[in-house]
């Protein structure tokens, strides 16, 4: 079953889609999916929609919300910050924990690109509430590179003077830059103590594969890293997409039912 849902975060309504297995007895495992920068809950080429539906077929419920300022949720994109999305992520986690059909001991997080950075930070802040973490092309370098006034390879050195940056026609607010200067995503992510699965393309120029190598160093033996040779950020082939999807499905199924 797929159903539209809402939850509140910071006084704003977040809108999303929940997937619940049709046949389930008792409590079910659950995955929360976080989308990336400039995207929405369906994600690049609808890959999060596919992941939710495949999880549902395996008896795993999930939810995909638009962060505030993205998709159909309240708020303006120009007011979006990484800290705000981390707050949204925690509000979504609290919402899921309040659902009576969810097994509280089997809630996993999954994130793509900047959503992977956010997922890793939420997992670090809420270690006791998260049992596993799945990351696709995580992009904490969005935060770190802003310290040099670059955003996904684009020069935004005039962001303070202009009060915003033009990124693919979307207005990125000065607050996004100022917030990034205060953050250390890897330090927050390091507080997570459970298992992690990472998938990254070695031709990714949006989020460097070195980000996933750094996560692997942080998590050590608790993390598995699949580097897909030839894949860039969007994983634009049948084979690349299948490799990423299969890796996440195998990991989440094992961790939630193992």
189 Cβ contact partners less than 8 Å away, ≥ 6 residues apart: 120, 121, 123, 124, 140, 215, 218
Q: Which fold has domain 2-142+185-257?
A: Rossmann fold (3.40.50)
Are 66 and 73 within 8 A, CB to CB? yes
Mean pLDDT of the residues in the chain: 97
pLDDT band at residue 64, thresholds of 50, 70 and 90?
very high
Give 24's pLDDT tier (boundaries 50, 70, 90).
low
129-179 pLDDT per residue, tens:
999 999 999 999 999 999 999 999 999 999 999 999 999 999 999 999 999
Over residues 102-118, mean pLDDT? 98
| Domain residue spans of the chain | 2-142+185-257
258 contact partners, CB below 8 Å, separation of at least 6:
none
This prediction's pTM: 0.97
């Amino acid at each position: 079953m797929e159903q539209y849902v809402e939850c509140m975060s910071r006084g704003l309504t977040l809108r999303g889609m929940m997937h619940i297995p049709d046949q389930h007895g008792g409590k079910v495992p659950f995955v929360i999916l976080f989308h990336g920068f400039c995207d929405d809950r369906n994600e690049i080429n609808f890959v999060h929609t596919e992941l939710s539906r495949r999880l549902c077929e395996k008896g795993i419920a999930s939810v995909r919300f638009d962060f505030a300022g993205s998709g159909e949720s309240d708020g303006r994109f120009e007011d979006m910050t990484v800290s705000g999305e981390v707050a949204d992520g925690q509000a979504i986690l609290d919402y899921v924990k309040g659902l009576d059909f969810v097994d509280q001991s089997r809630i996993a997080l999954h994130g793509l690109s900047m959503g992977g950075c956010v997922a890793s930070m939420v997992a670090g802040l809420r270690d006791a509430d998260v049992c596993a973490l799945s990351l696709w092309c995580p992009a904490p370098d969005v935060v770190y590179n802003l310290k040099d006034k670059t955003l996904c390879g684009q020069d935004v050195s005039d962001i303070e003077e202009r009060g915003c940056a033009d990124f693919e026609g979307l207005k990125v607010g000065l607050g996004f830059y100022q917030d990034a200067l205060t953050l250390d995503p890897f330090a927050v992510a390091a507080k997570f103590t459970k298992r992690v699965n990472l998938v990254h393309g070695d031709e990714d120029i949006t989020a460097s594969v070195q980000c996933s190598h750094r996560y692997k160093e942080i998590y050590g033996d608790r993390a598995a890293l699949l580097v897909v040779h030839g894949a860039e950020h969007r994983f634009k082939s049948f084979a690349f997409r299948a490799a990423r999807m299969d890796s996440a499905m195998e990991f989440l199924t094992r961790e939630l039912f193992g």
